[in-house]
Amino acid sequence: MLEDVTPSSLRRLRRWAPWIVIFGLAAGPAAGMWALAWRIDDIPPELRVTPVPVFTGPTLRIRDGRTNAVAKLEIGDGPALIAPEWSGVVTSVEVSSGDAIATGDPLLSVDRVTRVAVASDMPFHRELGNGSRGRDVEALERLLVALGLFDEEPDEIFTRTTAMAVRAFESTLGVDPPTGVFSPSLVMWMPTEPLVVGEVLVSVGSPVPGAGSAIARAVPRVISAELVTGEGAPVSFEGDRVLEVEGREVAIISGGSAITDEVAEAIWDSRTPLGSDVAGGAVMIPATLRLPEPVEVWAVASSAVMVDMEGASTCVWVEDGDALIPIDVTPVGGTLGVTDLRGPLAGLRVLVNPLEILPDPACP
């Protein structure tokens, strides 16, 4: 037969040899598995291993439901203090980064006349004197009341009593001589109070900024906020949770990923030193959620926990004499391979392997 082997047949054999080996390596294990399965099916029923029920007592644990979350804050520029129509040189600056400004607080002096902050619905836009009428007159009188210079009920009419209060106001600011006519250049309008200064934009010795220019900016503010998971999905829970940032309790919030403006500001303030942050864009702040009070839970193997066909209820199967009965439970957390449950499981033995034992292990 060796005489029948020609050089061309040897070349064909070398070309096909690798494919023959690969086929053998692939087909061999498959054939082995088929043979093993055939042999298992061929085992008599009396020799096959029957699953045995495995029971365990649930372990009582104290849990606070602590989970990690991320506070996603959308940050924008804070409001600015805008220069009025004025002229002169800045002779002093009374505020600095981090100061919380309220109505009546001195901000700076121009030509040695102090200018103060005022929070109102709208900025003052005209001079006010005897006979002036309007909402801005009422706003002025409310300012004078807040400063302790006017003791009548504010209205929209500028009277001689108003003029006397304005003269007293001018005297406290250094206007000499006082005129009794209110000038908008004496105040800096704020849209809200208190306003926390993030950056001061004027300095002593410089000309005052032009009308409409910012003399100071507030710290960046939170535009919107929500709680998300580390993967960015909205956080969902029922009931109340304590929100912590860097180990400090910030607020108690109710179920859902949306959080109020007040809570959002509290998160921002607790995480970031005032006046030192760059505004614009989203800021991700690690946070923790926990139950207001720790609760007792039963820890069982996760394999023991079953649900109904709709996934609406949860149960475990427990030993009841010679029978097995389902007990309704509520999952409240867990770790790898272990589920924490709330339910009447004290003193019961829980079936660990219901999928192997019961023909229909779903909760009824």
Do residues 260 and 296 lie in contact, with contact meaning Cβ atoms separated by under 8 Å? no
CA nearest 54: which of 288, 306, 268, 351? Answer: 351
CB 191 within 8 A of CB 217: no
Instruction: Report the share of the chain in percent with pLDDT over 70.
Output: 83
Predicted confidence band of residue 45 (pLDDT cuts 50, 70, 90): low
Nearest-angstrom CA–CA distance, 187 and 116: 5
Which of 31-40, 128-137, 233-242, 281-290 shows the lowest mean pLDDT across its residues? 31-40
Least confident interval from 74-88, 173-187, 243-257 = 243-257
Tell me if the pTM is above 0.85.
no
- Both tokens assigned to 297: 């839970």
> Which tokens in the block code for residue 41?
């099916």
Would you state the structure tokens that stand for residue 199, as one six-digit string? Answer: 């950056």
Instruction: Output the pLDDT for position 251.
Output: 87
What pLDDT does 143 receive? 95
pLDDT at 36: 39
Residues 132-177: pLDDT tens digits? 999 999 999 999 999 999 999 999 999 999 999 999 999 999 999 9
Peptide bond into 194 cis (omega under 30): yes
Mean pLDDT is lowest, of 96-105, 112-121, 142-151, 251-260, for: 251-260
Nearest to 70 by CA among 301, 249, 284: 284
Q: What is the model's pLDDT at position 279?
A: 46
| Average of per-residue pLDDT across 252-280 | 68
The confidence score (pLDDT) of residue 201 equals: 94
Using only the alpha carbons of the chain, give its radius of gyration.
Answer: 39
DSSP 267-303: HHHHHS-TT----SEEEEEEEEEE-SS-EEEEEEEGG
- pLDDT tens-digit map of 169-225: 999 999 999 999 999 999 999 888 888 898 999 999 999 999 889 999 988 878 888
Better pLDDT: 247 or 150: 150
Cross-strand pairs, 323: 320
Task: Quickly count: other Cβ atoms within 10 Å of residue 55's Cβ.
Answer: 15
Average pLDDT over residues 276-298: 79
Q: Could you tell me if 165 and 102 are in contact, meaning their C-beta atoms sit under 8 angstroms apart?
A: no
- Place 106 in a pLDDT band, splitting at 50, 70 and 90: very high
Per-residue model confidence (pLDDT) at position 220? 81
Confidence of residue 13 (pLDDT cuts 50, 70, 90): very low
| 1 band by pLDDT with thresholds 50, 70 and 90 | very low
In this structure, the number of other CB atoms found within 10 A of the CB of residue 304 comes to 24
**Predicted pLDDT of residue 268:** 76
Percent of the chain with pLDDT over 90: 53
Predicted pLDDT at 165: 97
With both helix axes pointing from N to C terminus, report the angle between 160-173 and 135-146 in degrees, rounded to the nearest 10: 50
296 or 332, greater pLDDT: 296
**What burial class does residue 175 get, using C-beta atoms within 10 Å of its C-beta: 0-12 exposed, 13-18 middle, 19+ buried?**
middle
Q: What is the pLDDT of residue 252?
A: 87
pLDDT, residue 257, reads 64
Q: What is the mean pLDDT of residues 33-40?
A: 42
Q: How confident is the model at residue 356 (pLDDT cuts 50, 70, 90)?
A: very high
Helix (H) or strand (E) holding 21: helix 7-41
Residue 44 scores a pLDDT above 80: no
Task: Give the pLDDT of residue 46.
Answer: 60
pLDDT at 304 over 90: yes
**Lowest mean pLDDT across 8-17, 107-116, 245-254:** 8-17
Return the pLDDT at 33.
Answer: 35
